[in-house]
């Protein structure tokens, strides 16, 4: 049975999913929900690899007037095919994708943005056979993105007003986030009052108000870029944190269970065990402050399922190697604005398990980019998530799952080593932890921990007590990525283990496991040792 199941890992084209008979978790009922909500100008944000591009492709295939004859073939087996809305196949689709752009300098980023606009508008003209050569030349010889769009809309309004445009923008902020990681000042210049990004969206706003663009749906990761446009593009409805649309992207647990049932050939015990591990590694995301359920990262789940289907074993790496660079940008994120303040947030989260802040629905760049802004930045990028609310205003944010936790701890280990002026390679730590696992010998590992502690001053993020020594130990263990490291695990007797080091669920090899109890003695109490 499992051999006949194919998962669309890495596939973001809806027609390809249908044509190749991939398994598709049906999200088409949200098309109906969007129309009934009367929200015509939507921005919907989710972390990377959460199914945004596939949903945009779904909208493109559903509303495109050119695909009217393919409606039954594409949608008959899904909810929306059995319950079509009045607007099905009634628009011309103008599509933009701003990913995969070179942002190595401001000038290069501008040229890439310009060429992307030209490419997509040309594609629109050819797809619907619009304009003669003279008009096309007039459009594409304009010297800036906003003038290209303005000229295009002016000619369109003269000749094709009977066909409204549905504008789709995928990864709207991908390239501006790259600029933000490099320089907050460069980012502000790009999206400022006279920036080319703001002018581009001002033209879209005008086309919407004139009735040329009837609807748009914009996806991305963070509201920072859009919010910085302020009055230049203040006509949008942010549905990102709306309870009715929280599950529009990503997988619910019941959906993950259904997918697992397609491929697991063992008994229910195996399914429950696998589900628990998937929950630990890929689940935990909440986008509505009062949500009772959490979502799975869909791309991560599909990566796992594709491997498990054939082997009935876990992939060697629980984090998909193809998306590891996306999460490897942790270090870049912490460089935005004030690094020391940002690292203080990191330490708070690692030490306490959470941090608290208000949710920012709109960033304001007239104010400094401070602690609250950074916490929300991590939230929108998927590196923190909502744990719960406090006093209906403060939100408690936590690390969503083990994948993100491991990346945070590995980065924290790098920070500690740098502060202690220790430049030995990560291989030293990994070899020491491997020795623990293979032989049970902890001497080499604790020698590295001791050396780090001796080289840290009280000013280097560490206030020397039991809790902070434990953080150093966890950081090194996570850096090695060998053990499944858990802190404060409850025992059957009602107590708690300081640290539990077990075999990772994706590790087929048996090795030593540990429970560590950490005690801190002041210098004057050394005799108690």
Encode pLDDT of 389-430 as tens digits: 876 678 999 999 998 998 899 888 888 888 888 876 678 999
What is the DSSP annotation of 278-319?
HHHHH--B--STT-SS-BB-HHHHHHHHHHHHHHSS--S-SS
Closest to 84 measured CA to CA, from 73, 94, 71: 71
288 pLDDT more than 70: yes
Whole-Å CA distances, 518 to 117, 140, 455, 467: 59, 68, 20, 9
* Number of DSSP helices (H) and strands (E) in the chain, helices first: 23, 11
Please name every residue paired with 501 in a beta bridge, in sequence order, or none if there are none.
485, 514
327 pLDDT more than 70: no
38 pLDDT more than 80: yes
2 pLDDT more than 70: no
Pairing label, strands 213-220, 41-45? parallel
231 pLDDT more than 60: no
Lowest mean pLDDT, pick from 198-202, 317-321, 427-431: 317-321
The pair of structure tokens assigned to 216 is 């748009």
Instruction: Report the alpha-carbon distance of residue 521 to residue 529 in Å, rounded.
Output: 8
**C-alpha neighbours within 13 Å on the C-beta side of residue 196:** 21
Q: What is the pLDDT of residue 223?
A: 85
Q: What is the pLDDT of residue 501?
A: 94
Instruction: Report the alpha-carbon distance of residue 29 to residue 177 in Å, rounded.
Output: 31
Q: What is the pLDDT of residue 392?
A: 66
The pair of structure tokens assigned to 109 is 């980023």
Residue 409 Rama label (left phi>0; alpha psi -120 to 50; beta) = alpha
Q: Do 27 and 359 touch, CB atoms closer than 8 A? A: no
Pairing label, strands 394-398, 355-357? antiparallel
Cβ contacts of residue 156 below 8 Å, gap of 6+?
130, 165, 212
162 pLDDT more than 70: yes
What is the DSSP annotation of 70-139?
GHHHHHTTSHHHHS--TTTT-BEEEEEE--S---SSHHHHHHHHHHHHHHHHHHHHHHTT-S-HHHHHHH
- For 322, phi then psi, to 5°, come to -70, -20
Encode pLDDT of 39-56 as tens digits: 999 999 999 889 999 999
11 pLDDT more than 90: yes
Cβ contacts of residue 445 below 8 Å, gap of 6+?
429, 432, 433, 435, 436, 476
Please name every residue paired with 527 in a beta bridge, in sequence order, or none if there are none.
none
Q: What is the 3-state secondary structure (H, E, C) of 176-243?
A: HHHHHHHCHHHHHHHHCCCCHHHHHHHHHHHHHHCCCEEEEEEEECCCHHHHHHHHHHCCCEECCCCH
Q: What is the pLDDT of residue 300?
A: 93
The pair of structure tokens assigned to 338 is 């004030």
The pair of structure tokens assigned to 316 is 């060697």
**C-alpha neighbours within 13 Å on the C-beta side of residue 63:** 26
78 pLDDT more than 90: yes
Lowest mean pLDDT, pick from 72-86, 110-124, 167-181, 191-205: 191-205
Q: Look over the chain and give the mean of its residue pLDDT values, rounded to a whole number.
A: 89
Q: Do 213 and 41 touch, CB atoms closer than 8 A? A: no
360 pLDDT more than 60: yes
Q: Do 19 and 33 touch, CB atoms closer than 8 A? A: no
230 pLDDT more than 60: no
Task: Tell me the mean pLDDT in the region 333-346.
Answer: 89
- Say which residue the tokens 């949710």 belong to: 359
Terminal C-alpha separation, the chain? 60
Q: What is the pLDDT of residue 1?
A: 46
Question: Alpha helices of 312-401 — where are they, by DSSP H?
Answer: 324-327, 330-333, 339-352, 371-380
Q: What is the pLDDT of residue 458?
A: 64
Task: Tell me the mean pLDDT in the region 469-490.
Answer: 88
In whole angstroms, what separates CA 74 from the centre of its chain? Answer: 28
Classify residue 245 by its DSSP letter.
Answer: G
Q: Secondary structure of the chain: what % helix, strand, coil (to 5)? A: 50, 10, 35
The pair of structure tokens assigned to 368 is 């400094």
459 pLDDT more than 70: no
Q: What is the pLDDT of residue 43?
A: 92
Closest to 376 measured CA to CA, from 233, 191, 227, 527: 227
Q: Do 151 and 138 touch, CB atoms closer than 8 A? A: yes
Instruction: Report the alpha-carbon distance of residue 355 to residue 378 in Å, rounded.
Output: 12
The pair of structure tokens assigned to 36 is 């009934």
The confidence band for 319, taking pLDDT boundaries of 50, 70 and 90, is: confident
Q: What is the pLDDT of residue 526?
A: 83
User: Which helix (H) or strand (E) is 165 found in, with range?
Assistant: strand 165-170
Q: What is the pLDDT of residue 485?
A: 93
Q: What is the pLDDT of residue 192?
A: 77
For CA atoms 62, 68, 73, 77, give the dihedral sign.
positive
For CA atoms 313, 512, 276, 352, give the dihedral sign.
negative
Q: Do 147 and 117 touch, CB atoms closer than 8 A? A: no
């Amino acid at each position: 049975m499992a051999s006949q199941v194919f998962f669309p890992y890495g596939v973001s084209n809806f027609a390809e999913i249908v044509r190749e008979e991939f398994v598709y978790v049906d999200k088409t009922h949200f098309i109906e929900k969007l129309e009934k909500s009367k929200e015509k100008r939507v921005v919907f944000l989710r972390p990377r690899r959460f199914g945004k591009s596939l949903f945009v492709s779904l909208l493109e295939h559903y509303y495109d007037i050119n695909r009217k004859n393919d409606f039954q073939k594409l949608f008959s087996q899904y909810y929306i095919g059995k319950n079509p809305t009045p607007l099905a196949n009634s628009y011309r689709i103008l599509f933009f994708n701003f990913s995969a752009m070179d942002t190595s300098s401001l000038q290069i980023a501008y040229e890439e943005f310009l060429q992307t606009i030209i490419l997509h508008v040309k594609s629109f003209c050819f797809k619907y056979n619009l304009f003669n050569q003279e008009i096309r030349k007039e459009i594409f010889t304009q010297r800036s993105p906003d003038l290209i769009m303005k000229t295009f809309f002016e000619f369109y309004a003269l000749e094709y007003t009977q066909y409204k445009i549905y504008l789709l923008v995928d990864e709207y902020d991908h390239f501006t986030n790259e600029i933000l990681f490099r320089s907050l000042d460069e980012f502000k210049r790009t999206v400022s009052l006279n920036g080319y990004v703001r002018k581009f969206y001002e033209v879209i706003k005008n086309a919407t108000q004139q009735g040329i663009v009837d609807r748009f749906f914009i996806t991305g990761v963070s509201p920072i870029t859009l919010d910085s446009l302020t009055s230049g593009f203040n006509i949008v409805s942010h549905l990102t944190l709306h309870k009715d649309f929280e599950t529009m992207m990503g997988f619910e647990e019941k959906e993950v269970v259904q997918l697992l049932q397609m491929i697991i050939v063992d008994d229910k015990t195996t399914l429950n065990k696998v589900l628990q591990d998937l929950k630990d590694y890929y689940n935990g995301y909440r986008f509505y402050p009062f949500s009772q359920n959490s979502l799975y990262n869909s791309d991560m789940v599909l990566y796992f399922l594709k491997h498990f289907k054939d082997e009935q074993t876990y992939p060697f790496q629980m984090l998909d190697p193809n998306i590891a660079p996306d999460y490897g940008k942790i270090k870049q994120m912490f460089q935005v604005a004030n690094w020391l303040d940002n690292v203080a947030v990191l330490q708070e989260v690692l030490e306490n398990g959470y941090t608290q802040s208000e949710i920012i629905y709109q960033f304001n760049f007239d104010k400094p980019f401070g602690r609250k802004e950074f916490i929300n930045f991590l939230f929108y990028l998927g590196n923190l998530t909502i744990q719960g609310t406090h006093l209906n205003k403060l939100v408690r944010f936590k690390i969503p799952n083990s994948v993100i936790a491991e990346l945070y701890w590995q980065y924290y280990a790098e920070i500690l080593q740098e502060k202690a002026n220790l430049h030995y390679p990560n291989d030293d730590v990994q070899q020491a932890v491997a020795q623990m696992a293979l032989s049970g010998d902890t001497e080499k590992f604790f020698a590295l921990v001791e050396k780090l502690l001796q080289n840290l001053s009280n000013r280097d993020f560490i206030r020397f007590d039991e809790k902070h020594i434990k953080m150093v130990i966890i950081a090194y263990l996570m850096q090695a990525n060998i053990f499944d490291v858990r802190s404060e695990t409850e025992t059957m007797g009602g107590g708690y283990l300081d640290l539990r080091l077990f075999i990772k669920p994706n590790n087929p090899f048996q090795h030593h496991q540990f429970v560590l109890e950490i005690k801190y003695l002041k210098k004057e109490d050394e005799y108690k040792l």
